[in-house]
Structure 1
Amino acid sequence: MSQSRFRKIALDLPDAVEGAHQGHADFRVGKRIFATLGYPDDAWGMVKLTPEQQAIVVAAEPDIFRPVPGGWGKGGSTNVRLAKADPTTLRSALTMAWDNLAAKPAMKPRAAKRA
């Protein structure tokens, strides 16, 4: 799986757009990131799953998926080893990540504090 193929699959999801976050390409629905490319390096992508979804994909495909190290991983952020991923498996993971965020209402802006 190449980065360009990951990008194409992510951007094929409804209303998905590409942005950038901390120097890495990211993919958003609304203003929420559901996937990134290039972390921890160019050999990896990331999908934002629930912890339960993460446990399932890591158990099913340990050569492709691993929890992101640290707190982000405990929350469901899951690395994708691009060289091992096939389009069907990646599309499934990206769709889960997209679904997790597309179904949630957008966060309301915080009201300004009055002095």
Structure 2
Amino acid sequence: MTGKAFTEMALSFPGTGQQPHFERTGFKVTGRRMFASYLEQDNTANIFLTPQEQSLFCKMDKEHIYPVPNKWGEKGATTFVLSKVARELVLEALLSAYNEVMKTKK
């Protein structure tokens, strides 16, 4: 999956916009928190899952789906190597992250 394809997929959810997030591009629902970010340099996405969802996705492909190696990773932030992970898995993870943001209060 290319960065362009990931961006289009992330922006396909209602009310979603993009903004700079350090060296990454962040994707968030307007008025709510970020649910994903993209780093062009290595074509990876960090998708903000629940810890339970993170565990399930990581079991599917431990080499190309793994926790972000910091405190955010402990909270569910998960790196996806986009050139190695099936598009369907990325879409499912984005949908999970988006839905989690939508059910939290503003």
On whether the aligned pair clears a TM of 0.5, the verdict is yes
- Aligned-pair identity in percent equals 27
Q: Partner residue of 1:43?
A: 43
State the alpha-carbon separation in 2 of the partners of residues 57 and 50 from structure 1: 11
State the alpha-carbon separation in 2 of the partners of residues 43 and 8 from structure 1: 14
Query: Which stretches in structure 1 are left out of the alignment for 5+ residues?
Result: 107-115
Query: Structure 2: which amino acid aligns with 1:79?
Result: T
3-state SS, counterpart of residue 45 of structure 1: strand
| Residues 41-85 of structure 1: CA deviation (Å, up to 9, x unaligned) | 423111000111000000122233100002110000000101112
Contact 1:63 1:84 in 2 (8 A): no
Runs in 1 of length 4+ with deviation above 6 angstroms?
A: none
Using structure 1 for the length normalisation, give the TM-score. 0.85
How much does 1:104 deviate? Answer: 1.0
Using structure 2 for the length normalisation, give the TM-score. 0.92
| Residues 14-66 of structure 1: CA deviation (Å, up to 9, x unaligned) | 11111111131010013310000018x42311100011100000012223310
State the alpha-carbon separation in 1 of the partners of residues 64 and 14 from structure 2: 25
3-state SS, counterpart of residue 53 of structure 2: helix
Q: Partner residue of 1:105?
A: 105
Query: How many pairs align?
Result: 105
Q: Partner residue of 1:110?
A: none
Q: Partner residue of 2:7?
A: 7
Query: Which stretches in structure 2 are left out of the alignment for 5+ residues?
Result: none
* Alignment RMSD: 1.4
Query: Structure 2: which amino acid aligns with 1:50?
Result: T
